[in-house]
Amino acid sequence: MTDPDKLIVGWREWVALPGLGVPAIRAKIDTGARTSALHAINVKRYRKDGKDWVAFDLEPSRRYTQLVLACDAAVVDERVVKDSGGHTEHRLVIQTALQLRQFSKPIELTLTERPNMRFRMLLGRTSLVPDMLVNPSLSYHQGRMRVKTAYADYLKRPDSEEGSL
């Protein structure tokens, strides 16, 4: 039995993080992970208006590493997170909007380097409840995207390598 008010997602989905300027990123839906994680490099913490902020670069595609987005967000917390291998890591936590098609909600993301992972984002169970149901037999249930299409505006910028994607 399914709840018609809940969004059904597959084990992997294309999502957007509009508050960070990310039109599309592939996310692995991981009900075994409590927190969500985002691949962040060149992380630099700073103060702005008396509050802690973090600036970081995001490579939204593992395949196209020349595509790098500069992001910044307020730090909402710091946590020690245990990864699937049992290793602990101190991570900064930010909050931003998660968007899947017309569905949108604020979520918390921990920032970590995920260079060898297939997915640059992991969507943990605290970001899923109470709004989503996961069907592990589905893949990209909310629709597929192409990096070239999602980042067309980025590619038009004079400082990008147009045509490299």
CB of 30 closer than 8 Å to CB of 134:
no
Residue type, 76: V
Asked if 36 and 29 touch (Cβ cutoff 8 Å), the reply is no
Report how far residue 137's alpha carbon sits from residue 94's, in angstroms, rounded to the nearest whole number: 30
pLDDT for 164 equals 42
Beta-carbon contacts of 24 under 8 Å, excluding residues fewer than 6 positions away, are 14, 15, 16, 60, 145, 147, 150, 151
Q: What would the two tokens of residue 36 be? A: 């969500």
Going by their DSSP bridges, the two strands 22-30 and 7-9 should be labelled as unpaired
Class of domain 7-147: mainly beta
**Mind listing the pLDDT tens digit of every residue in the chain (165 residues)?**
467 788 999 999 999 999 999 999 999 999 999 999 999 999 999 999 999 999 999 999 888 778 899 999 999 999 999 877 888 999 999 999 999 988 999 999 999 998 788 899 999 999 998 989 999 999 999 988 888 788 877 766 655 554 444
